[in-house]
Amino acid sequence: MDFFIDTGDIEEIKAASEWGIIDGVTTNPSIIAKTGRTQEEVIKDICEIIDGPISAEVIATDKDGMIKEGKELAKIHDNVVIKLPLTEDGIAACKWFSENGIKTNVTLCFSSNQALLAAKNGATYISPFIGRLDDIGVDGMGLIQEIRHMYDMYGFTTQILAASVRHADHVKQASLIGADVSTMPFKVIKQLFHHPMTDIGLAQFLADHEKSKK
Protein backbone atom coordinates (compact mmCIF):
# COMPACT_ATOMS: atom_id res chain seq x y z
CA MET A 1 0.00 0.00 0.00
CA ASP A 2 1.25 3.47 -0.86
CA PHE A 3 1.15 6.22 1.76
CA PHE A 4 0.31 9.76 0.66
CA ILE A 5 0.27 12.76 2.98
CA ASP A 6 -2.86 14.92 2.77
CA THR A 7 -1.55 18.42 3.43
CA GLY A 8 -0.08 21.59 1.97
CA ASP A 9 2.05 22.25 5.04
CA ILE A 10 5.63 22.13 3.79
CA GLU A 11 7.10 21.52 7.26
CA GLU A 12 4.81 18.50 7.76
CA ILE A 13 5.77 17.15 4.34
CA LYS A 14 9.48 17.57 5.10
CA ALA A 15 9.11 15.87 8.50
CA ALA A 16 7.14 12.92 7.11
CA SER A 17 9.51 12.56 4.18
CA GLU A 18 12.40 12.14 6.66
CA TRP A 19 10.73 8.92 7.83
CA GLY A 20 11.06 7.52 4.30
CA ILE A 21 7.47 6.25 4.15
CA ILE A 22 5.79 8.88 1.96
CA ASP A 23 5.05 7.94 -1.66
CA GLY A 24 3.01 10.99 -2.68
CA VAL A 25 0.94 14.02 -1.63
CA THR A 26 -2.70 15.06 -2.01
CA THR A 27 -4.03 18.58 -1.73
CA ASN A 28 -7.42 20.18 -2.26
CA PRO A 29 -8.61 23.81 -2.40
CA SER A 30 -9.33 23.87 1.37
CA ILE A 31 -5.84 22.56 2.14
CA ILE A 32 -4.25 25.14 -0.20
CA ALA A 33 -6.34 27.98 1.33
CA LYS A 34 -4.91 27.14 4.77
CA THR A 35 -1.36 27.81 3.49
CA GLY A 36 -2.16 31.42 2.49
CA ARG A 37 -0.18 30.85 -0.73
CA THR A 38 -1.13 30.10 -4.33
CA GLN A 39 -1.64 26.51 -5.45
CA GLU A 40 1.22 26.85 -7.93
CA GLU A 41 3.66 27.99 -5.24
CA VAL A 42 2.68 25.19 -2.87
CA ILE A 43 2.75 22.45 -5.52
CA LYS A 44 6.16 23.61 -6.80
CA ASP A 45 7.60 23.40 -3.28
CA ILE A 46 6.08 19.96 -2.67
CA CYS A 47 7.54 18.66 -5.94
CA GLU A 48 11.01 19.57 -4.67
CA ILE A 49 10.55 17.45 -1.54
CA ILE A 50 8.61 14.39 -2.70
CA ASP A 51 9.42 12.44 -5.85
CA GLY A 52 6.00 10.85 -6.37
CA PRO A 53 2.43 11.65 -7.41
CA ILE A 54 1.31 15.11 -6.21
CA SER A 55 -2.42 15.83 -6.62
CA ALA A 56 -3.47 19.39 -7.51
CA GLU A 57 -7.19 20.11 -7.88
CA VAL A 58 -8.90 22.17 -10.59
CA ILE A 59 -11.33 24.92 -9.56
CA ALA A 60 -13.24 25.17 -12.87
CA THR A 61 -16.55 23.30 -12.95
CA ASP A 62 -16.94 22.99 -16.73
CA LYS A 63 -15.06 20.45 -18.86
CA ASP A 64 -13.17 22.95 -21.01
CA GLY A 65 -12.18 25.02 -17.99
CA MET A 66 -10.97 21.89 -16.17
CA ILE A 67 -8.88 20.87 -19.18
CA LYS A 68 -7.38 24.36 -19.48
CA GLU A 69 -6.52 24.54 -15.78
CA GLY A 70 -5.30 20.95 -15.64
CA LYS A 71 -2.96 21.49 -18.60
CA GLU A 72 -1.37 24.44 -16.74
CA LEU A 73 -1.04 22.45 -13.50
CA ALA A 74 0.51 19.52 -15.38
CA LYS A 75 3.23 21.89 -16.67
CA ILE A 76 4.47 22.49 -13.10
CA HIS A 77 6.10 19.05 -12.87
CA ASP A 78 5.80 15.56 -14.40
CA ASN A 79 4.64 14.24 -11.01
CA VAL A 80 1.54 16.45 -10.87
CA VAL A 81 -1.74 14.50 -10.92
CA ILE A 82 -4.84 16.45 -11.93
CA LYS A 83 -7.58 16.20 -9.33
CA LEU A 84 -11.08 16.40 -10.79
CA PRO A 85 -14.44 16.42 -8.99
CA LEU A 86 -16.81 13.54 -9.61
CA THR A 87 -19.29 15.44 -11.76
CA GLU A 88 -20.44 14.94 -15.35
CA ASP A 89 -17.87 17.51 -16.52
CA GLY A 90 -15.18 16.06 -14.25
CA ILE A 91 -15.67 12.57 -15.67
CA ALA A 92 -15.65 13.93 -19.24
CA ALA A 93 -12.44 15.87 -18.51
CA CYS A 94 -10.97 12.70 -16.99
CA LYS A 95 -11.37 10.96 -20.36
CA TRP A 96 -9.54 13.82 -22.08
CA PHE A 97 -6.62 13.66 -19.62
CA SER A 98 -6.44 9.84 -19.90
CA GLU A 99 -6.29 10.06 -23.70
CA ASN A 100 -3.56 12.69 -23.45
CA GLY A 101 -1.34 10.77 -21.03
CA ILE A 102 -1.95 13.00 -17.99
CA LYS A 103 -2.61 11.32 -14.63
CA THR A 104 -5.85 12.03 -12.79
CA ASN A 105 -7.30 11.68 -9.31
CA VAL A 106 -11.11 11.74 -9.36
CA THR A 107 -12.19 13.14 -6.03
CA LEU A 108 -15.34 13.51 -3.91
CA CYS A 109 -16.40 9.91 -4.56
CA PHE A 110 -19.21 8.73 -2.29
CA SER A 111 -20.66 5.75 -4.19
CA SER A 112 -19.45 2.70 -6.06
CA ASN A 113 -21.35 3.77 -9.20
CA GLN A 114 -19.31 6.99 -9.19
CA ALA A 115 -16.15 4.90 -8.86
CA LEU A 116 -17.19 2.85 -11.91
CA LEU A 117 -17.57 6.04 -13.98
CA ALA A 118 -14.07 7.19 -13.07
CA ALA A 119 -12.58 3.78 -13.89
CA LYS A 120 -14.37 3.61 -17.25
CA ASN A 121 -12.73 6.90 -18.26
CA GLY A 122 -9.28 5.74 -17.21
CA ALA A 123 -8.79 7.65 -13.95
CA THR A 124 -5.39 6.94 -12.40
CA TYR A 125 -6.87 7.23 -8.88
CA ILE A 126 -10.36 7.26 -7.41
CA SER A 127 -10.72 8.98 -4.04
CA PRO A 128 -13.58 7.62 -1.90
CA PHE A 129 -14.03 9.85 1.18
CA ILE A 130 -14.27 7.44 4.11
CA GLY A 131 -14.44 9.92 7.01
CA ARG A 132 -17.09 12.15 5.46
CA LEU A 133 -19.30 9.08 4.88
CA ASP A 134 -18.78 7.91 8.47
CA ASP A 135 -19.78 11.44 9.58
CA ILE A 136 -23.23 11.01 8.00
CA GLY A 137 -23.70 7.51 9.40
CA VAL A 138 -22.74 5.60 6.24
CA ASP A 139 -20.03 2.91 6.36
CA GLY A 140 -17.10 4.51 4.53
CA MET A 141 -15.03 1.34 4.64
CA GLY A 142 -17.93 -0.60 3.08
CA LEU A 143 -17.58 1.67 0.05
CA ILE A 144 -13.87 0.83 -0.28
CA GLN A 145 -14.79 -2.86 -0.14
CA GLU A 146 -17.45 -2.52 -2.86
CA ILE A 147 -15.11 -0.61 -5.17
CA ARG A 148 -12.29 -3.15 -4.64
CA HIS A 149 -14.69 -5.96 -5.56
CA MET A 150 -16.03 -4.20 -8.67
CA TYR A 151 -12.62 -3.13 -9.97
CA ASP A 152 -11.19 -6.64 -9.48
CA MET A 153 -14.19 -8.26 -11.20
CA TYR A 154 -13.77 -6.15 -14.32
CA GLY A 155 -10.00 -5.71 -14.28
CA PHE A 156 -10.08 -1.91 -13.91
CA THR A 157 -6.60 -0.57 -13.17
CA THR A 158 -7.72 2.67 -11.49
CA GLN A 159 -6.08 2.76 -8.07
CA ILE A 160 -8.28 3.08 -4.99
CA LEU A 161 -7.03 6.00 -2.92
CA ALA A 162 -8.66 5.92 0.53
CA ALA A 163 -9.26 9.60 1.37
CA SER A 164 -10.76 11.56 4.25
CA VAL A 165 -8.88 9.26 6.59
CA ARG A 166 -9.44 10.32 10.20
CA HIS A 167 -7.52 7.82 12.34
CA ALA A 168 -5.06 4.93 12.25
CA ASP A 169 -7.77 2.27 12.25
CA HIS A 170 -9.04 3.64 8.91
CA VAL A 171 -5.56 2.95 7.48
CA LYS A 172 -5.51 -0.60 8.84
CA GLN A 173 -9.00 -1.39 7.54
CA ALA A 174 -8.33 0.14 4.10
CA SER A 175 -5.13 -1.87 3.85
CA LEU A 176 -6.87 -5.14 4.82
CA ILE A 177 -9.50 -4.55 2.13
CA GLY A 178 -6.81 -3.88 -0.46
CA ALA A 179 -7.01 -0.15 -1.10
CA ASP A 180 -3.97 0.80 -3.19
CA VAL A 181 -3.23 4.04 -1.34
CA SER A 182 -4.17 5.80 1.89
CA THR A 183 -3.82 9.55 2.02
CA MET A 184 -3.52 10.80 5.58
CA PRO A 185 -3.15 14.02 7.51
CA PHE A 186 0.20 14.32 9.31
CA LYS A 187 -1.37 13.54 12.70
CA VAL A 188 -2.72 10.19 11.41
CA ILE A 189 0.69 9.25 10.00
CA LYS A 190 2.15 9.91 13.45
CA GLN A 191 -0.54 7.71 15.05
CA LEU A 192 0.66 4.77 12.93
CA PHE A 193 3.95 4.68 14.85
CA HIS A 194 2.59 4.64 18.35
CA HIS A 195 1.67 1.83 20.71
CA PRO A 196 1.86 2.11 24.53
CA MET A 197 3.57 -1.30 24.77
CA THR A 198 6.37 0.01 22.55
CA ASP A 199 6.88 2.97 24.93
CA ILE A 200 6.75 0.74 28.04
CA GLY A 201 9.08 -1.85 26.47
CA LEU A 202 11.61 0.76 25.37
CA ALA A 203 11.61 2.45 28.79
CA GLN A 204 12.27 -0.95 30.39
CA PHE A 205 15.10 -1.80 27.98
CA LEU A 206 16.77 1.56 28.59
CA ALA A 207 16.40 1.24 32.38
CA ASP A 208 17.88 -2.27 32.30
CA HIS A 209 20.73 -1.06 30.13
CA GLU A 210 21.50 1.64 32.72
CA LYS A 211 21.62 -1.05 35.46
CA SER A 212 24.01 -3.21 33.44
CA LYS A 213 26.50 -0.33 32.96
CA LYS A 214 29.14 -0.54 35.65
DSSP tag of 97: H
Where on the chain is the footprint of ligand E4P (CB under 6 A)?
Answer: 6, 26, 28, 107, 127, 129, 131-132, 163-164, 183
In the complex with ligand E4P, which residue's Cβ is closer, 46 or 163? 163
Toward ligand E4P, which CB reaches closer, 119 or 140? 140
Within 13 Å, how many C-alpha atoms sit on residue 41's CB side? 8
Q: Which residue is nearest to ligand E4P (CB)?
A: 164
Query: Rounded to the nearest whole angstrom, what is the least distance from the CB of residue 105 to ligand E4P in the complex?
Result: 7
Q: Which is nearer to ligand E4P, 54 or 93 (CB)?
A: 54
Polymer length of the chain: 214
Question: Which of the following is catalytic: 34, 83, 172, 211?
Answer: 83
d(CA 51, CA 13): 12
Closest CA to 71 of 63, 26, 53, 106: 63
Q: How far is the CB of 116 from ligand E4P (least distance, A)?
A: 19
Q: How many Cβ atoms are within 10 Å of 23's Cβ, its own excluded?
A: 15
Query: What is the residue type of 177?
Result: I
Nearest approach in angstroms of CB 210 to ligand E4P is 43
Active site residue 63: no
- 118 neighbors 151 (Cβ within 8 angstroms): no
Which active-site residues does the annotation give?
A: 83
